[in-house]
Structure 1
Amino acid sequence: MTKREVQASVKDERLVQKRREQMIKGAVALFKEKGFHRTTTREIAKAAGFSIGTLYEYIRTKEDVLYLVCDQIYDHVRDRLEQELEHKKGTLESLKLGIANFFYVMDEMQEEVLIMYQEVKSLSKDALPYVLKKEMEMVAMFENLLNGCVENGELKLTDKQVKIIAHDIFVQGQMWGFRRWALRKLFTIDEYIELQTRVLFSGLGQPSPE
């Protein structure tokens, strides 16, 4: 799925990326504190460190910022799942590595993930399907990892089993952020990854790769 086009009048792509990252960081903190509707674009600009005029060189509406948050999460998950997996595709090791990398992204971006789900209701009727489709694309990344293991004979799963397990992995990753107030009292992120991976592999009838 291609990204939703967020218009910018600036043509320097590296500068656009830099400014939008600053914008997202400032907006996430404000959305967490005040909510989407009570936060103004002027406040976002100030938190990002530039003027309201500069802000409108990189976005057109406040809603654009939520699109950018969604895209940033998706891009980080995609990039992380591609790391080190190229030569390990279709193995239980690749599945374990993919799970760990995804959980680390959820740990690093937990504020963005929480804001996306809290404020997605603020998106327009046309915008919501875009966000939900992005989520399904992230789930599909795990379907691909699982299907690779099935094709290599490392797992025996039906298509429906692949789909439900992919959703399980996705939700377990999100749970680290949604339930962090409780989980962080019990586990480090590494302990959480290890335990969740062991539970998953046990359910698959497989020992967790070391």
Structure 2
Amino acid sequence: MSNEQVISSVKDSYLVEKRRNQMIKGAIVLFKEKGFHRTTTREIAKESGFSIGTLYEYIRTKEDVLFLVCDAIYDQVRNRLESATDWDNPSVAKLEEIVASYFRLMDDMQEEIIIMYQEVKSLKQESREYVIKKERDMVAMLERMFTACLPETIDEQDVSLLANNIFVQGQMWGFRRWMLQKQFTLEEYIERQIHFLKQSLSTDHMQNEKTDQTP
């Protein structure tokens, strides 16, 4: 969690993290029900289990709470990807595990993801740019994983596009759940997306081999 972006008058880092996690959970419930603009800081404090005075010991504005929600989402994505990655033994099979783990996290966090994209426009420019940077960092992490796990014949531009595709496909499970979740279970969705990924990699690899063999 970024303590630099959101100022707190409390100096106990453990307590700051605990209270802010309570705020995040409470805010997500309210933002989902009422939206960011119709939710008040007093309601966030009540949903979080403490007084409005206590709330303002850990944040300055309601926008700070939205920023914390966005920041927490990307922290969880980063932690999930890092815990699923084995840099010492990269392979296509390991990449499949990473992608599946990411999709399952997006299922767990689909409400948070939807709220973030609906409400990120409410952040000030500096905070909005920070959130966008965090998203770029997540895609860059996927790019590094693809580079480590895939054949060397996959070029840098394709790796970038593949990483962005996977990033969006994970979020799409929540964005289009009104349709997708009526047609697929989560595991079916993961299996089909990984199938298409492997199919794409196999096609690209074969095309590159043919190009290399051309006189």
Normalising by structure 2, what TM-score? 0.88
| Counterpart amino acid of residue 43 in structure 1 | E
Deviations 1:133-158 (A, max 9, x none): 111111111100111124xxx35211
Q: Which residue does 2:70 correspond to in 1?
A: 70
| Counterpart amino acid of residue 171 in structure 1 | V
* Aligned residues of 2:23 and 2:44 also touching (Cα < 8 A): yes
Moved more, 92-101 or 6-15: 6-15
Q: Which residue does 1:105 correspond to in 2?
A: 105
* Aligned residues of 1:89 and 1:148 also touching (Cα < 8 A): no
Unaligned segments of structure 1, at least 5 residues: none
Answering whether residue 177 of structure 2 is matched by residue 174 of structure 1, we say no
* Aligned residues of 1:3 and 1:71 also touching (Cα < 8 A): no
Identity %: 58
Deviations 1:49-72 (A, max 9, x none): 110011011111111112111111
Q: Which residue does 1:138 correspond to in 2?
A: 138
Answering whether residue 34 of structure 2 is matched by residue 40 of structure 1, we say no
Taking the aligned partners of 1:87 and 1:125, their CA distance within structure 2 comes to: 36
Aligned to 1:127, the other structure's residue is in SS state helix
Alignment of 1:8-157 (within 5 A): 8-86=8-86, 89-150=89-150, 154-157=151-154
| Counterpart amino acid of residue 184 in structure 2 | F
Q: Which residue does 2:155 correspond to in 1?
A: 158
Normalising by structure 1, what TM-score? 0.90
Moved more, 168-177 or 92-101: 92-101
- Aligned-residue offset at 1:4: 4.7
Indicate the RMSD between aligned Cα atoms, in angstroms: 1.7
Deviations 1:81-101 (A, max 9, x none): 112423554311221111111
Taking the aligned partners of 2:88 and 2:72, their CA distance within structure 1 comes to: 26
| Counterpart amino acid of residue 126 in structure 2 | D
Taking the aligned partners of 1:112 and 1:25, their CA distance within structure 2 comes to: 10
Which structure has the highest helix share of the two? 2
Higher Cα radius of gyration: 2
4+ residue segments displaced more than 6 Å:
none
Moved more, 163-172 or 98-107: 98-107
Answering whether residue 195 of structure 2 is matched by residue 198 of structure 1, we say yes
Corresponding residue pairs, total: 202
Moved more, 6-15 or 115-124: 6-15
Moved more, 81-90 or 48-57: 81-90
